[in-house]
Amino acid sequence: MFLRGAFRALALNRNLTPIAVRTFASKQREVPALTCDRYPVQRGSFAELTDDDVAVFRGILGGADTSRVLTAADEVQDYNIDYLRSVRGYGRVVLKPRSTTEVAELLRYCNERRLAVCPQGGNTGLVGGSVPVFDEVVLSLQLMDTIERIDEYSGIVVCQAGCVLATLEEQVGARGLVMPLDLGAKGSCHIGGNVSTNAGGLRLVRYGNLHGSVLGVEAVTAEGRVLDLMSNFKKDNTGYHLKHLFIGSEGTLGIITRLSMFCPTASRSVNVAFLGLHSYDDVKRTFLAAKRGLGEVLSSCEMIDAASLDSCTRFFGLQSPIDKYPFYMLIETSGSDAGHDEEKLARFLEQTMEQGLVQDGTVTNDSTKMKVNCISVNMITVFFFFDQFCVRIKSFLHLTLLRQPHSEHCILS
């Protein structure tokens, strides 16, 4: 049994998917002040956009009547404001290419004209990095969403950078595969943005970061040069692996337009445990016990403090399935043998409770309950946003360096 209140939400037909919640959140607050007015930033020596520039863009993207060049103030505003609505640029044009060739032509022209460019994916980031600071040209990859190939034998997917993560997850799942990353923003984030920021997500414990999953990329540099760094091999020891320079480069070296990624075989047995603990030291010791006791079936391990869970349950109108504790842990296992996995998880829980680390907990292998739970935990940042503040801490630091978290609310993931 898990998140009993989830049934109440489903009964009320609330249908709060990640993309719905994120869209809802992004529309709630007033338009923020311009970034350049709020912060001591200075515009570089770039040219200013002219009507002639817009005409050239239209020519590249299909002609004078193209809908892939946005210039109306109401059309470009959402591309100028970040997801948290905390920063805003004043870019006057949004370009929507469909191919690597078009991206190259646009960047080549902007480079010759010294027009600053802001590449943008799903605009789901929490640090304002995907929107203009000043009047940059916004180059959106929304229309580059073609899934070119999914090979269920090799486990390789080849796609354009504008594919939405949830769409990829659905398509590879239909072929018995799983995406190696899972994010709260998967309903709207782009895989190209995930790679450009080296996103981790809930499955990092199991599958590692994207340097190990991305097999190749195609990227366009600022001067419009196309770099074909694609590969369809998990093991490729031929020369330099320049793809790694673009993973996490956030568009500073070029714009990723296509990529190939290795997708592992989907697990047939998935279990989720939700645990209550008294202290952060207990959290660390339980994490260590999970790595040792669950071993190869451990796929995700998250810590949530009491205030974070309270924000989550209040937003959804849900109720925690266990009593209140200062800390909670969400542990997921995935494997191929349900009996074996459940036995290992049960033994782990029994041992940690006997040691006084875990005080209470509940387990489920029901996919509906797990999905509701993942939505809730993944969207904690949104709940904080509604409470007028947001602090998100990524805990891929050495755990011994972390003490009792000082932020009033935090999720360590």
pLDDT at position 126: 83
Phi, psi dihedral angles at 220 (to 5 degrees): -120, 125
**For 147, phi and psi rounded to 5 degrees?**
-90, 110
Q: CA dihedral in degrees (102, 105, 109, 112; nearest 10)?
A: 150
Find the range with the poorest average confidence among 175-184, 302-311, 368-377.
Answer: 368-377
Mean pLDDT, residues 162-175: 96
pLDDT digits (tens, 9 = 90+) for 220-238: 999 999 999 998 887 778 8
Determine the average pLDDT of the residues in 370-382: 53
Q: Can you tell me the mean pLDDT for 44-59?
A: 96
| CATH 3.30.43.10 residue ranges for the chain | 35-140
pLDDT, greater one: 93 or 362 = 93
Topology of the domain comprising 147-262: 3.30.465
CA distance 200 to 195: 9
E strands in 278-383: 298-305, 327-335, 360-364
With beta carbons less than 8 A apart as the criterion, state whether 206 and 139 touch.
no
Burial of 250 (0-12, 13-18, 19+ CB in 10 A): middle
Domain with CATH 3.30.70.2190 in the chain: 269-384
- Tokens at 226, concatenated: 């196309």
* Higher per-residue pLDDT: 400 or 61: 61
> d(Cα 412, Cα 153) in Å, to the nearest integer?
35
Q: Where exactly does CATH 3.30.465.10 map onto the chain?
A: 147-262
Looking at CATH, the fold of the domain delimited by 35-140 is given as 3.30.43
User: Which strand ranges, in their side-by-side order, compose the sheet holding 269-277?
Assistant: 360-364, 269-277, 327-335, 298-305, 411-412
| Burial letters 299-315, b for 16+ CB under 10 A, else e | bbbbbbbebbbbbbbeb
Q: pTM score, two decimals?
A: 0.81
* 278-330 pLDDT per residue, tens: 999 999 999 999 999 998 899 888 888 888 888 777 777 777 888 899 999 99
Does the pLDDT of residue 92 top 90, yes or no?
yes
Domain 269-384, CATH class in plain words: alpha beta
Q: What's residue 93's pLDDT?
A: 97
Q: Read off the pLDDT of residues 28-43 as tens digits, 9 standing for 90 and up.
A: 568 999 999 999 999 9
End-to-end CA distance of the chain: 23
Amino acid of residue 10? L
